[in-house]
Chains A and B, each alone.
Chain A
């Protein structure tokens, strides 16, 4: 009894003191999921298959060390020649040659020639230790990468290998250096060589999986001795900006909430929203089946923002920017003028072009450059073709979280209807992260299709609960009261199930 109490206290104190020191990698998102980076002065094992980004991540770790944390780094490569390595990273916006010249970085290629392996009796790999130590001392390094173990140990026999592997890890620990050691992933064992991974304090796994013909890179922290860490698999991308791990850091409690309002661009719609429009920094969903005028509503929102000299980023996943501009001209909105004045920026990409993470990362990169006040995503349901719905939802939630921390209003359209929500409950998941939800519907009465609009919810404001008629013409959008006869006909038809379903089933 006493014992259990004591051990409980131990657990608690361990949690509170947050134990070990960490070294920041500077890799976007990674330091967040590990609560501070890699274990300081200890070796980390980075495993993954071919082309999963092991070399890239470890190089990124070194370059960030030099550029952001004034920590010099050693890169010991057993695979590529150092000149090749430098060339591979030359489009990375850093002058590696310069860093080497200034003794911030040190590269060494350890070439293992077959002829060395005439053997007679026992031997060890002390030569490696000598060279590592020499390299570390040459530039007073705080970080080191060994890439990769497999090549180094290819020619060693397995029993000796285990010994030397352990020795290497313990030796690195003594040297007070934060090390990253890469290794190929194996089928049965964690590493292809079947090493005793338990000597590593931290093990990170990289994978590159293909779902629906689109490849997604993922990162997982398999083990982190003495530290709490996030357990999930996190998508990440590699591009010329570097490596980015989702989630983007969000601290939901800390972001500011605005009381300011922004007009929807349609006077009568503002009237339904407490006469003031949406909250600045809120998320707005416009849902409805095809052809109900969702894109037109977003165009009005964009226009109203641009007119107030705000910046708007329009992310189109369905139509090209030129097509949108032409179509909107037909209802009296000249978007081109705002593009010229640089108030409106288009991001157009086919959903199938790349994976979801990449879309969001590119948009995020654009946000950081352009600093828009408003973002429009039209339509998000098109992204759903990419991978399972739960993925999209998780991604979208993280993305909206991110936008909220930046106080950017987001308006997105989705081809979902109330009915499709009941068929596909995950659609409802989207709605839960939305502050204001507008529904547009298409009702067919005897000889006419009627559009109706209503507000499903709007957090934090008194809003209209009426169902209103909604007309798009070359004069723009008109929202007005339904007259009694029309109202009756429409509601009757609606109750008879004439609601068109969205394209999600």
Chain B
């Protein structure tokens, strides 16, 4: 992936359940639509990296965090609501 991508995201999920799968699928789908390949997204399973859950102050999952551009914006859920996803994450 392009490390100089303007948009950088971190998607935190727990395990490999339905919620996690949905979130990963939806995020990829929508980001591909809106940003084509001009973004970078890492997927983190907090079950494997619990320390990250503390550092990132995570309670609700799944959560997508926009790391770049600032300010950091977070959005929780399986990302099934396209409109909210778009307005919260990309219009800010």
Contacts and interface: CB of A to CB of B under 8 A. Distances in A.
Given A122-B77, A123-B77, A130-B47, A116 B53 contact: no
Nearest to A128: B59
B61 A134 contact: no
Contacts of B58: 127, 130-131
Contacts of B84: 118-120
Given A116-B60, A118-B84, A123 B76 contact: yes
Contact of A125 (B57, B61, B75): B61
B73 A127 contact: no
Nearest to A116: B74
B61 A120 contact: no
B59 A120 contact: no
Interface in B62-79: 62-63, 73-79
A281 to B, nearest CB: 57
Contacts of B59: 110, 112, 116, 125, 127-128, 131, 152
A478 interface: no
A130 B55 CA distance: 12
Contacts of A108: 54
Contacts of B32: none
Contacts of A115: 73-74
A175 interface: no
A120 B88 contact: yes
B80 interface: yes
Contacts of B77: 119-123
B36 interface: no
Nearest to A129: B14
B76 A126 contact: no
Contact of B63 (A112, A116, A128): A116
B9 interface: no
B26 to A, nearest CB: 8
A134 B19 contact: no
A461 B51 CA distance: 73
B76 A119 contact: yes
A120 B23 CA distance: 10
A159 interface: no
Given A116-B60, A116-B63, A125-B61, A130 B75 contact: no
B12 A127 contact: yes
B57 A111 contact: yes
A125 B73 CA distance: 18
Size band of the interface chain B makes with A:
20 to 34
A326 B77 CA distance: 77
A134 B15 CA distance: 15
Contact of A130 (B53, B73, B80): B53
Contacts of B62: 123
Interface in A93-137: 108, 110-113, 115-131, 133-134
B3 interface: no
A126 to B, nearest CB: 4
A121 B74 contact: no
Residue from B47, B54, B60 with most neighbouring chain A CB atoms (10 Å): B60
Contact of A123 (B15, B57, B61): B61
Interface in A124-164: 124-131, 133-134, 152, 156
Given A113-B57, A131-B54, A133-B50, A123 B78 contact: yes
Nearest to B57: A111
B79 A121 contact: yes
A120 B57 contact: no
A127 B75 contact: no
B89 to A, nearest CB: 8
Contacts of B26: 121
B76 A130 contact: no
Given A123-B19, A134-B50, A110 B57 contact: yes
Given A116-B63, A127-B63, A121 B57 contact: no
B74 A130 contact: no
Contacts of B79: 120-121
B80 A120 contact: yes
A104 to B, nearest CB: 19
B5 to A, nearest CB: 22
A146 to B, nearest CB: 12
A117 B51 CA distance: 21
Contact of B76 (A118, A131, A152): A118
Contact of A134 (B54, B73, B85): B54
A125 B60 contact: yes
A244 to B, nearest CB: 35
29 contacts: A110-B59, A116-B74, A117-B60, A118-B73, A118-B84, A118-B89, A119-B81, A119-B84, A120-B78, A120-B80, A120-B81, A121-B26, A121-B79, A123-B19, A123-B62, A123-B78, A124-B60, A125-B59, A126-B14, A126-B15, A126-B61, A127-B14, A127-B58, A127-B59, A127-B61, A127-B63, A131-B50, A131-B58, A156-B60
Interface of A: 108, 110-113, 115-131, 133-134, 152, 156
Given A126-B15, A134-B51, 14 more contacts: A110-B57, A116-B60, A117-B76, A120-B76, A120-B77, A120-B78, A121-B81, A122-B78, A123-B19, A124-B60, A127-B14, A127-B46, A127-B53, A130-B46
Interface of B: 12, 14-15, 19, 22-23, 26, 46-47, 50-51, 53-54, 57-63, 73-81, 84-85, 88-89
Closest 9 A-B residue pairs measured CB to CB?
A121-B80, A121-B77, A126-B14, A134-B50, A127-B58, A121-B78, A118-B88, A120-B77, A120-B81
